[in-house]
Amino acid sequence: MKEVFVRVDRCLGCHSCQIACAVEHSASKKLFGAILESPGPRYRLFIEKADGLNIPLTCRHCDPAPCAEACVAGSITRDARGAVVQNENRCIGCWTCVMVCPYGVVGRKQDRKVAVKCDRCQDREVPACVGACPTKALLFAEPDEFGAAVRKSRAGVLVGTLLG
Amino acid sequence: MERTTDGSSTAVLNAAGREAVETVWDRFEKQSPQCGFGELGTCCRNCLQGPCRIDPFGGGATQGACGATADTIVARNLARSIAAGTAAHSGHAKHLVHALLKWAEGKAPDYPVKDEAKLKAVATRVGIPIDGKTTQTLAKELAEKALADFSEKETPVTWAATNVTAGRVETFLKYGLVPTGIDSVVSEVMHRTHYGVDADPVNLLLGGVKCALADYAGCHMGTDLADILFGTPKPVVSRMNLGVLKDDAVNIALHGHNPVLSDVIAQMAKDLNGEATDAGAKGGINLVGVCCTGNEVLMRHGIPSATHSVSQEVALLTGAVDAMVVDYQCIMPSLQTVAECYHTRIITTMPIAKISGATHMEFNEENARETAKSIVRMGIEAFKKRDPNKVSIPKNALNALAGFSTEAIVEALAKVNAEDPLKPLIDNIVNGNIQGVCLFAGCNNVRVPQDQNFIAMAKSLAAQNVLLLATGCAAGAFGRHGLLTSEATNQYAGDGLKAVLTAVGEAAGLGGPLPLVLHMGSCVDNSRAADLAVAVANKLGVDVNKLPVVASAPEATTEKAIAIGTWAVAAGLPTHVGVVPPVLGGALVAKVLTEDVKDLLGGYFIVETDPESSAAKLMDAIRERRKGLGL
Tell me the C-alpha to C-alpha distance, in Å, between residue B510 and each of B424, B467, B507, B529: 17, 18, 8, 22
Phi, psi angle pair for B518, to nearest 5°:
-95, 120
What 3-state class would DSSP assign to B282? Answer: coil
pLDDT of A131 over the 90 cut: yes
Nearest to A132 by CA among A11, A8, A41: A11
Checking if the pLDDT of B76 tops 80, the result is yes
Of B33, B40, B57, nearest to A22 by CB-CB distance is B57
User: Distance between CA A33 and CA B159 in Å, rounded?
Assistant: 41
Interface test with A, best of B34, B54, B57, B607 (most A CBs within 10 A): B57
| From A24-28, B55-59, B532-536, the region with the lowest mean pLDDT | B55-59
DSSP E strand stretches across A62-127: 76-78, 84-86, 107-108, 115-116
Instruction: Give the separation between CA A29 and CA A131, rounded to whole angstroms.
Output: 14
Q: Which of residues 165-204 of B touch A (CB under 8 A)?
A: none
The answer, for A35 touching chain B at a CB cutoff of 8 Å, is: yes
Reduced to 3 states (helix: H, G, I; strand: E, B; else coil), residue B444 is coil
A47 touches chain B (CB under 8 A): no
Task: Establish if B30 touches chain A: CB-CB under 8 angstroms.
Answer: no
For A82-121, what is each residue's pLDDT tens digit? 999 999 999 999 999 999 999 999 999 988 999 999 999 9
Contact at CB, A19 and B37, closer than 8 angstroms: yes
For residue B350, the tally of other CB atoms under 10 A from its CB is: 21
Interval B591-624: pLDDT, tens: 999 999 999 999 999 999 999 999 999 999 999 9
Determine the CATH number of domain A3-58+118-163. 3.30.70
Among B470, B506, B120, CA closest to B292? B470
Alpha carbon B98 to its chain's center: 21
Contacts of B37 in chain A (CB under 8 A): 14-15, 19
pLDDT digits (tens, 9 = 90+) for B451-465: 999 999 999 999 999
- Residue B499: Cβ within 10 Å count: 16
Taking the Cβ of residue A28 and every Cβ of chain B, the question of whether any pair is shorter than 8 Å is answered with no
In this prediction the ipTM stands at 0.79
CB count within 10 Å of CB A161 equals 8
The mean pLDDT of chain B is 97
Q: What CA–CA distances, in Å, run from B344 to A125, B80, B241, B353?
A: 44, 36, 19, 19
Query: Which residues touch A164 (CB under 8 Å, ≥6 apart)?
Result: none
Bridge partners of B256? B291
Does B57 contact A31 at a Cβ distance shorter than 8 Å?
no
List residues bridging with A54 in a β-sheet.
A49
Domains in chain A: boundaries: 3-58+118-163
Which of A79, A111, A78 has its CA nearest to residue A93?
Answer: A111
**pLDDT band at residue B561 using 50, 70 and 90 as cut-offs:** very high
* Residue B235 confidence (pLDDT): 97
Percent of chain A with pLDDT over 90: 82
How many residue pairs from chains A and B have C-beta atoms closer than 8 A? 50
The CA distance from B581 to B593, in Å, is 11
Report which DSSP code applies to B513: P
Q: Would you state the pLDDT for residue B18?
A: 86
Lowest mean pLDDT among B13-27, B160-174, B453-467, B563-577: B13-27
Nearest-5° Cα angle at A48, A42 to A51: 175
CA distance B117 to B138: 12
Q: Residue A163: its pLDDT value, please?
A: 86
pLDDT of residue B60 exceeding 90? no
Chain A residues touching residue B580 (CB < 8 angstroms): 32
Q: What is the pLDDT of residue B212?
A: 98
How many residues does this entry show for chain A?
A: 164
> What does B340-356 look like in DSSP terms, one character per residue?
TTSSPEEEE-BTTB--T
Neighbours of A153 (CB within 10 A): 10
Single-letter amino acid, residue B34: Q
Closest chain B residue to A38 measured between Cα atoms?
B57
Cβ(A23)–Cβ(A31) below 8 Å: yes
Helix, strand, coil share (%) of chain B residues, nearest 5: 50, 10, 35
A108 neighbourhood in chain B, CB within 8 Å:
none
Question: Closest Cα of chain B to A132: distance in Å?
Answer: 6
A110–B39: do the CB atoms touch at under 8 Å?
A: no
Indicate the pairing of strand B549-553 with strand B574-577.
Answer: parallel
Q: Radius of gyration of chain B from Cα atoms?
A: 24
pLDDT at A164 over 90: no
Q: Which of A32, A43, A134 sits opposite B580 (nearest CB)?
A: A32
B-chain residue closest to A108, CA distance: B59
Report pLDDT for B623.
98
Chain B touched by A126 (CB under 8 Å): no
pLDDT value, residue B32? 85
Interchain contact A77–B (C-beta under 8 A):
no
Amino acid sitting at position B439: L
Would you call B39 an interface residue with chain A, using a CB distance cutoff of 8 Å? yes
Contact: B585, A23; criterion CB under 8 Å = no
Instruction: Report CA-CA distances (Å) from B513 to B403, B419, B423, B438, B502.
Output: 15, 22, 18, 18, 4
Measured in degrees and rounded to the nearest 5, phi and psi for residue B53 equal -130, 145
Q: Please tell me if residue B32 touches chain A, with a CB cutoff of 8 Å.
A: no
Average pLDDT for residues B490-501, to the nearest whole number? 98
Nearest to B629 by CA among B435, B407, B378, B363: B435
d(CA B100, CA B353): 22
Whether B33 and A132 lie within 8 Å, measured CB to CB: yes
Q: What is the DSSP string of B195-250?
A: TTS---HHHHHHHHHHHHHHHHHHHHHHHHHHHHHH-----EEEEESGGGS-TTSE
Looking at residue A156, its pLDDT comes to: 85
Q: Is B411 helix (H, G, I), strand (E, B) or coil?
A: helix
Measure the CA–CA gap between B42 and B585, rounded to whole angstroms: 6
Question: Pick from A20, A42, A107: which is nearest to B33 by CB?
Answer: A20
d(CA B396, CA B546): 42
- Section B89-101 average pLDDT: 98
Q: Which residues of A touch B36 (CB under 8 A)?
A: 15-16, 19-20, 23, 31
Q: Are A11 and A45 in contact (CB under 8 A)?
A: no
Residue-level pLDDT at B58: 85
A78 touches chain B (CB under 8 A): no
pLDDT at B406: 98
Taking the C-alpha atoms of residue A108 and residue B189, their distance in angstroms, rounded to an integer, is 42
pTM confidence score: 0.94
Nearest-Cα distance to chain B for A20, in Å, is 8
| pLDDT level of residue B92 (50, 70, 90 thresholds) | very high
Question: What distance in Å separates the CA atoms of residue B530 and residue B279, rounded to the nearest whole number?
Answer: 47
Binary contact (A107, B59; C-beta < 8 A): yes
Of B33, B57, B585, the CB nearest to A42: B57
Name the residue with higher pLDDT: B434 or A152.
Answer: B434
Q: What is the largest CA-CA distance in chain A?
A: 61
